[in-house]
């Protein structure tokens, strides 16, 4: 009987620690970026699942992100689930997105179109940095545990709010493998 009670106590303690960890992970605040600061470049590292935000060579913030459902390699054709790699710019903000706010990436460029044509396909488009699918913001940071977009770069809604106010149109973005 004593062993059963000890086992139940240990299992309960483990369950409480797991719940506390998950709650801390979910509710941990996003690092604040000083008001009025404007980013001058974004760097995305697909292998590390990171988006870094810079101003005057100072790292303002680093975010863990999710990518297209087939993240390995450069985007080749529409529907391949890959996130493009290369140098682009943020060319517009979209407040009416199907996801919580989005920043459009200037993909495809002339080279992307040429390569897709040579493959006999469309390069696709509408590649964005965006928050969660509208109505699914409650998923929060847990979305990072799998790549789920169609080629976009996804982050939490709170993180998207930071980018929205910090990244002006025309900001360069480089996406690395």
Q: What is the pLDDT of residues 142-152, one digit of tens each?
A: 667 788 888 99
The CATH superfamily of 31-176 is L,D-transpeptidase catalytic domain-like (2.40.440.10)
Q: What is the pLDDT of residues 121-136, one digit of tens each?
A: 999 989 999 998 877 7
According to the model, what pLDDT value does residue 111 have? Answer: 94
Q: Are 127 and 90 in contact (CB under 8 A)?
A: no
Q: Pairing mode, if any, of strands 128-130 and 153-154? A: parallel
- Which residues are CB-contacts of 88 (< 8 A; sequence separation ≥ 6)? 105, 106, 107, 109, 172, 173, 174, 175
Q: pTM above 0.85?
A: no
- Residues 23 and 17: their CA atoms lie apart, in Å, by 10
What DSSP letter does each residue of 39-77 carry, written as one string?
Answer: --EEEEETTTTEEEEEETTEEEEEEE-B-BSS-SS---S
145 vs 112, higher pLDDT: 112
Integer-rounded Cα Rg, in Å, for the chain is: 20
Domain ranges of the chain: 31-176
Q: What is the pLDDT of residues 44-99, one digit of tens each?
A: 999 999 999 999 999 999 999 999 898 889 999 999 999 999 999 999 999 988 89
């Amino acid at each position: 009987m004593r062993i059963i009670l000890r086992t139940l106590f240990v299992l309960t303690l483990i369950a409480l620690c797991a719940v506390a960890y998950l709650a801390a992970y979910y509710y941990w605040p996003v690092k604040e970026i000083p008001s009025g600061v404007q980013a001058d470049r974004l760097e995305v590292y697909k292998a590390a699942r990171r988006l870094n935000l810079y101003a005057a060579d100072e790292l303002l913030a680093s975010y863990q992100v999710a990518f297209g459902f087939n993240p390995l390699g450069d985007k080749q054709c529409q529907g391949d689930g890959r996130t493009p790699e290369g140098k682009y710019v943020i060319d517009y903000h979209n407040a009416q997105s199907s996801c919580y706010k989005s920043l459009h990436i200037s993909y495809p460029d002339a080279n992307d179109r040429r390569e897709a044509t040579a493959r006999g396909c469309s390069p696709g488009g509408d590649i964005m940095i965006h928050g969660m699918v509208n109505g699914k913001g409650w998923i929060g940071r847990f979305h990072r545990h799998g790549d789920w977009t169609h080629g976009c770069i996804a982050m939490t809604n709170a993180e998207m709010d930071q980018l929205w106010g910090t990244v002006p149109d025309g900001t360069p973005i480089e996406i690395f493998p």
